[in-house]
Structure 1
Amino acid sequence: MDGILGPLVFVLLVIGVLAGVAKFLSYVRDVEMARDDAVRRYQENMTFLTEFTSKLGAVEEVHQALQLVVHHLAAECDAESLAIFVDLGEEEDEQAVRGAAVAGPFPTFRPAPDVVQRRPQYRLQHLLHEVFKYGETAIGIVAESRRSILVADASEAGPTLALPKEMRTFVAVPMVVENHFLGVVCAANRKTVGKGFTQEHLERLELLSCQAALACNLVRVYADRSYQQLLHQEMSFVQDLQQRLLPTSLPDHGGCKFAALSEPAREVGGDYYDFIQIDEDRMMVVVADAAGKGVSACMLMAMCRAFVHCLADDYTGLEPFLGELNSRLYADTASHHFVTMAIVVVDTNEGTCECGCAGHTPLVFRLPDGRCVNVRPDGPALGMFPEDFGFVFETLSLRLHPGTQLLIHTDGITEACNVEKEEFGFGRLLQVWERERLPAQEFLDTLGEQVRQFVGQAEQYDDQTLVAIDFAGHLKDNEKPVNEPRETAHVGQPT
């Protein structure tokens, strides 16, 4: 008996060792296969990312980028078909998702012609117009709940999911990046193809959905950057245009010294000032404020400037000039687009100043004796009413003393607010004007600094423009000054 047990034990030991070796070899083989599979997937992912990034530069829309991703995701998930739906919340402020990319014969959730399933190009076009509201069909349910759905056997799915009849198995996962919902990725196999999806397929698709999310984000970042670059280029062009429309230098006209200061609230603005030589003796000075801000105001200002220069070529007087300018602006702009304007024509030979005001802030004179008066001839803003409304543009012709100064400003100066929402105000402007008896440019620099100090850290909401004139001419021999600026029916505080 002992002679039999010895060989039997030996045989059993050999069998055990062989079984252990076989199990170990099987384990090694499984590890090698897993390693090879991991290496293969890594290489495939690297190849995909290389191809994706190389093609991304030619992509302009999100659906184009996702179309680069969708075939890769379908292959990785062993899915016959796969579709990606993007959220419409950011683009259209709607709680819904819309088709963006498809690979394979993804079943349609709504009735569609047979050609849609047979032709890939038609299938994509159909999908791009498919919209599912949150909670509508399986896709909308995933979008609303932000939770994945796995349907191993579509025949057992309830009517709430509304799966197509030809679908055998279905899996859908939300695309979420940093708690930000971007859309839904879903895969499907028809009844004639493949096996049912498992939890492994679901987990793999959840892992891979980040690639689709990456594509969405990259395209949106690229598109936003391209838009910002284009916007910057266009804004630079408009800024350059506006600078070209403003005087490049101050005129030297007889006994007058001119100064100007302008600060737009944005990159470009609607304030406009100009000096136009009418003839040897007369200089037209214009300060205008176009309604609105930014590019629209700048374009209105450019139109106004063109009309001003055109009409100045045939200048006969300030009243007809303003009337014709109003008619042209009214004819070529909408009713809510208008321009306020203060305008003076200085005649250095006669020592006179003809003034007009179209809904603008007052012209402020400082006389040689230090008295300050403001002049505001009647007249509506330009482009607001047609000429048959019966209004007139009042003008004043004033003879100036040598040493008289004139200040013209836009309401961005007096309406400049500090952090307490208190306005700088016309009263403060007059105080500085009366106190600081300086040459034109020095005064504007001083006033501008006073406004900046008052405003402090508060944001500038309106364009700010100042123009000052020093009249240093002399009267003709034996001539006394008449009609100097004084408080009359058309001289008073701004309303």
Structure 2
Amino acid sequence: MTNLKRLYIKSGMKKNIPEFMVTDHSSDLKSCINKVERLSNCIEIANLINSELSIGKLLSNVMTATQKVFLAESVSLLLVDEKTGDLTFQIALGEVGDDIKELYRLKKGQGIAGLVAETGMPLNLEDAYEHPNFSSEADRKTGYRTRAMLCVPLRIRGEIIGVIQVINKQTSPFVFTNEELEMLMTIGSSAAVAIDTARMHRIILQRETLERDLKLAREVQESFLPKDLPVIANYRFAAVNQPALEIGGDFYNFFKLPSDKLGIVLGDVSGKGISASLGMARLTSDLQYYTLVSPEPRDLLTSINKVLCDRAKRGMFVTLIYLLLDPQKNRLQIANAGHLPPVYCDQNGPRLLGDEGKKGPPLGILLDAEYHQETFNLAENASVTLFTDGVIEAKNTSAELFGLKRVLKVIKSRPNDPEAICRGITNAVDRFAATEGRTDDLTLLSFTIP
């Protein structure tokens, strides 16, 4: 047999004499070869897809191979913007690919790509201009002429995350076949899974990075918190620092000063994570020096404010309250830089200590800011409690704040026991925000007067 012809026997005029009929199956063989080629191309692209977890490289590799396999002038891949729902060009290869990426984004339902993204139905168009949904705006802006087009959705778990377009077949008959549409749908299904996997991989890496940063931030924070509480005759001190899921810049410290005085500071560096922890660490070192250089609380805050303003970056600032305790006279001097006032509790009950009008702005914002100080005599068996906003701004499931009233209630129930005050407030906040969880550090410092 020649020319790939097959012989079939059919009954003729004579019963025992066969008559031969020739049938040409070369077109079937050609179709079979084409299917094998398409399958091979799909496998090749699938291998590219499965070999890359970087979403940028993944998309570039897939679309470069797709353009080659389909002998197309241009190809593009658009993904749905999760915030706006718009389709945005991630990859656009071809003569005007760069122009398209810069000029164009689509609403769902807009143009051919928007229609496919909205309906989930793939399209094979011999002439895109004949489709009522086609928009020629991109052609007008770039000078390109769109003719034949394939467009398929990228779908994962029933959700459309983007579309792939293949435009203008470069070989006769210059249109795409339905078999090629099916092939592109297969590629699109694999690409959608790969994109989803790459996104999840990126999220995992980001989470691991965040966990490392949080661990480092916590280590920095702990290393600069005092390891021991002050020992002063008849005075009792207690302090708590509980980190939240996002490490903040909360800190407290004690500074031994001349004449047996004690500097007490509690504050909150703006921001989260490692930057806040490093800011807190540096500020603690500054305070160690300036508490000796500037003995008066107002002068201390003025000096620290100038230092922070000189090196302020990215809007970082600090709320801080500084107390200068003279144990021999049971006297307390206070200077406040935008922080919550302390709670003083004596036989008359708990109340805020300090004049709101004497409070200065947070440190690191205004170079010429003025700070004031106030002096108070402390009664016997009284207590002073400092805390950060992580205490009063803790929220429950109804988005209700823990608030100052609950703090005062806890202190009133145990007015002269610093350990019980810190423990009581911490437990109350944890119960209050148990479901939602705290998003800010919780820092407390309390002491009682003999």
Q: TM-score range by the shorter chain?
A: 0.7 to 0.9
Alpha-carbon displacement from aligned partner over 1:192-213 (angstroms, at most 9, x marks no partner): 6555323333233223322333
Aligned residue runs from structure 1 range 19-58, under 5 A = 34=32, 45-46=42-43, 48-54=45-51, 56-57=52-53
Partner of 2:78: 86
| Cα distance in 2 between the residues matched to 1:69 and 1:250 | 62
Partner of 2:192: 213
Partner of 1:149: 123
Work out whether 1:100 is the aligned partner of 2:105: no
Work out whether 1:70 is the aligned partner of 2:48: no
Alignment partner of 1:251: what SS?
coil
| Cα distance in 2 between the residues matched to 1:132 and 1:458 | 38
Checking the alignment, whether the CA contact within 8 Å between 2:309 and 2:366 is kept in structure 1 is yes
Decide which of 12, 15, 23 is 1:10's aligned counterpart: 15
- The 3 A distance-change label for structure 1 pair 269 and 147 is same
Partner of 2:168: 188
- The 3 A distance-change label for structure 1 pair 184 and 467 is same
Checking the alignment, whether the CA contact within 8 Å between 2:247 and 2:440 is kept in structure 1 is no
Checking the alignment, whether the CA contact within 8 Å between 2:45 and 2:65 is kept in structure 1 is yes
Alpha-carbon displacement from aligned partner over 1:100-144 (angstroms, at most 9, x marks no partner): 154xxx5x4x6xxxxxxxxxxxxx656654635457775566556
Partner of 1:445: 423
| Cα distance in 1 between the residues matched to 2:314 and 2:35 | 69
Shift in Å at residue 68 of structure 1? Answer: 2.0
| Cα distance in 2 between the residues matched to 1:166 and 1:366 | 81
Alpha-carbon displacement from aligned partner over 1:63-119 (angstroms, at most 9, x marks no partner): x21232235445655x3445122136338x4734426154xxx5x4x6xxxxxxxxx
| Cα distance in 2 between the residues matched to 1:48 and 1:94 | 28
Q: How many residues align?
A: 431
Aligned residue runs from structure 1 range 34-433, under 5 A = 34=32, 45-46=42-43, 48-54=45-51, 56-57=52-53, 59=54, 61-62=55-56, 64-74=57-67, 77=70, 79-81=71-73, 83-87=75-79, 89-90=81-82, 93=84, 95-98=86-89, 100=91, 102=93, 106=94, 108=95, 129=102, 131=104, 133=106, 142=116, 146-152=120-126, 162=136, 169-177=148-156, 178-190=158-170, 193=172, 196-279=175-258, 281-290=260-269, 301-302=280-281, 304-333=283-312, 338-348=317-327, 351-367=330-346, 374-377=352-355, 378-383=358-363, 386=366, 391-396=370-375, 398=377, 401=380, 403-420=381-398, 423-433=401-411
| Cα distance in 1 between the residues matched to 2:240 and 2:373 | 27
- The 3 A distance-change label for structure 1 pair 394 and 346 is closer
| Cα distance in 2 between the residues matched to 1:133 and 1:37 | 35
Checking the alignment, whether the CA contact within 8 Å between 1:66 and 1:215 is kept in structure 2 is no
Worse overlay, 146-155 or 180-189: 146-155
Partner of 1:477: none
Checking the alignment, whether the CA contact within 8 Å between 1:352 and 1:400 is kept in structure 2 is no
| Cα distance in 1 between the residues matched to 2:144 and 2:348 | 93
| Cα distance in 1 between the residues matched to 2:405 and 2:129 | 82
Partner of 1:493: none
Aligned residue runs from structure 1 range 467-486, under 5 A = 467-472=445-450
- The 3 A distance-change label for structure 1 pair 156 and 286 is closer
Alpha-carbon displacement from aligned partner over 1:172-226 (angstroms, at most 9, x marks no partner): 3333332313122214323x65553233332332233223333433333333333
Checking the alignment, whether the CA contact within 8 Å between 1:335 and 1:384 is kept in structure 2 is no
| Cα distance in 2 between the residues matched to 1:420 and 1:131 | 43
**What is the root-mean-square deviation in Å for CA atoms of aligned residues?**
4.4
AA aligned to 2:50 is T
Alpha-carbon displacement from aligned partner over 1:352-377 (angstroms, at most 9, x marks no partner): 4333333433333445x686565215
Checking the alignment, whether the CA contact within 8 Å between 2:92 and 2:98 is kept in structure 1 is no
Larger Rg: 1
Structure 1, unmatched stretches of 5+, are 1-5, 111-123, 473-495
Checking the alignment, whether the CA contact within 8 Å between 1:167 and 1:189 is kept in structure 2 is no
Alignment partner of 1:447: what SS?
helix
| Cα distance in 2 between the residues matched to 1:265 and 1:158 | 56
Checking the alignment, whether the CA contact within 8 Å between 2:153 and 2:160 is kept in structure 1 is no
| Cα distance in 2 between the residues matched to 1:160 and 1:316 | 76
Q: Which TM-score applies when normalising by structure 2? A: 0.75
Alignment partner of 1:10: what SS?
coil
Checking the alignment, whether the CA contact within 8 Å between 1:370 and 1:434 is kept in structure 2 is no
